[in-house]
Amino acid sequence: MKFQPVSRRLKNGELVIIRECQPQDAEEFLQTAKTYIMDSKEFLITEESFNPTIDHEVKYIRTFMESENSLLLIATHNDKILGNLDLRGGQRTKVRHTAVIGMGMLKEWRDIGLGTLLMECVINWARENPVLEILWLQVFASNVAGISLYKKIGFEISGRQTNFIKIQDDIYTDNITMDLKVK
């Protein structure tokens, strides 16, 4: 196991556990992801295009377990998965020192410190990782809460792709890239 579980109370007083995702979590992990994708407009993937099988999810989870510069964390409360944060390390030699972050959580668990806790856990892990030097992410410009969280944690805006994301016909938003040096 690459990550020691962390327990903490959120702003709502509930105790959550952040731990490494395991293959036996695949079915619930998949259901949680489907739910938060359906409830948010801040993901590139849509509900209609997200249909992996449980076998696919098991393989997906294992790729994180087998990579020294990647980590897949889940947040749980009363043994139920609330959300996740994936840190996917670059696999090519020239970018192995970088990793991209993706995060999602059930809407009833947003804005109470869960995102901050997940980010703190993965940043602390990355600082101890001998390979990683830079973490980066992409966020919709319209995701004001997400951008605020990332800035609070120490990420800086490193790029912007204007009108890169088409929300629907004639409605676009910019794609913002942010990064954080961990070494």
What is the mean pLDDT of the segment spanning 9-38?
96
Read off the pLDDT of residues 87-106 as tens digits, 9 standing for 90 and up: 999 999 999 999 999 999 99
Whether residue 32 is contained in a domain is answered as: yes
The H or E element containing residue 163 is strand 156-168
Read off the pLDDT of residues 131-145 as tens digits, 9 standing for 90 and up: 999 999 999 999 999
- Given a cut of 90, whether residue 157 has pLDDT beyond it is yes
Whether residue 1 is contained in a domain is answered as: no
Residue 146 in contact with residue 178, Cβ under 8 Å?
A: no
Radius of gyration for the chain, computed over Cα atoms and rounded to the nearest angstrom: 16
What is the mean pLDDT of the segment spanning 34-47?
81
- Given a cut of 90, whether residue 52 has pLDDT beyond it is no
Q: How far apart are CA 153 and CA 62, in angstroms?
A: 28
Q: How far apart are CA 122 and CA 181, in angstroms?
A: 13
Q: What is the pTM of this model?
A: 0.94
Question: So what's the pLDDT on residue 51?
Answer: 82
Whether residue 117 is contained in a domain is answered as: yes
β-sheet bridge partners, residue 8? 16
- Given a cut of 90, whether residue 167 has pLDDT beyond it is no
Determine the structural domain holding residue 148 and report its residue range. Answer: 6-181
Question: So what's the pLDDT on residue 121?
Answer: 98
- Given a cut of 90, whether residue 1 has pLDDT beyond it is no
- Given a cut of 80, whether residue 79 has pLDDT beyond it is yes
Q: 54-66 and 26-38 are packed helices; what angle lies between their axes, rounded to 10 degrees?
A: 100
Alpha helices in the chain (DSSP H): 26-38, 54-66, 114-128, 144-153
Confidence class of residue 35 from pLDDT cuts 50, 70 and 90? very high
Question: So what's the pLDDT on residue 46?
Answer: 66
- Given a cut of 70, whether residue 64 has pLDDT beyond it is yes
Q: For residue 38, give the CATH number of its domain.
A: 3.40.630.30
- Given a cut of 90, whether residue 129 has pLDDT beyond it is yes
Structural domain total, the chain? 1
Whether residue 124 is contained in a domain is answered as: yes
Q: What six digits make up the tokens of 150? A: 């990332």
Least confident of 47-56, 110-119, 124-133: 47-56
Whether residue 95 is contained in a domain is answered as: yes
Read off the pLDDT of residues 101-116 as tens digits, 9 standing for 90 and up: 999 999 999 999 999 9
Whether residue 154 is contained in a domain is answered as: yes
The H or E element containing residue 175 is strand 171-181
Whether residue 141 is contained in a domain is answered as: yes
End-to-end Cα, the chain, rounded Å: 23
Nearest residue to 114 via CA among 83, 143, 80: 83
Whether residue 167 is contained in a domain is answered as: yes
